[in-house]
Amino acid sequence: MEWKASHILVKDQGQAQSLLVKIKQGANFEGLAREFSTCPSKSSGGDLGWFGPGKMVSAFENACKNLGVGSISDVVSTQFGYHIIRVTGKR
């Protein structure tokens, strides 16, 4: 199984929660990623492309496994910070 996902990565859990609320209220995921994410993927609206097992840290990969295509995660904590993940494909 491979996943295609986008994410927003921030250092502060409170900021991540606030962004998640905005997304659930209809804010544009890509726009928020470009504005707030600390990951280099911000330039592409948070798009990480396709990846397979073992390519991402386990908490991130597990979140992707448990989401349906088009779904948005709760805030996921890793050693890199706090992620909001949107799965955009599975194959």
Q: Please, which residues have CB within 8 angstroms of residue 64's CB and are 6 or more apart in sequence?
A: 3, 5, 56, 85, 87
Provide the pLDDT for residue 87: 98
- Cα–Cα–Cα angle for 42, 3, 14, nearest 5°? 45
Percent of the chain, pLDDT > 90?
100
Domains of the chain by start residue, with CATH: 3-90 (3.10.50.40)
Instruction: Determine the pLDDT at residue 65.
Output: 96
- The per-residue pLDDT for 69 is 98
Q: What is the pLDDT of residue 44?
A: 98
User: For 26-54, how does the pLDDT look when each residue is reduced to its tens digit (9 = 90+)?
Assistant: 999 999 999 999 999 999 999 999 999 99
Structure tokens at 32: 């928020």
Q: Position 1: which residue type?
A: M
Q: Which pLDDT score, from 0 to 100, does residue 24 have?
A: 96
5 falls in which pLDDT band (50, 70, 90)?
A: very high
Read off the pTM: 0.96
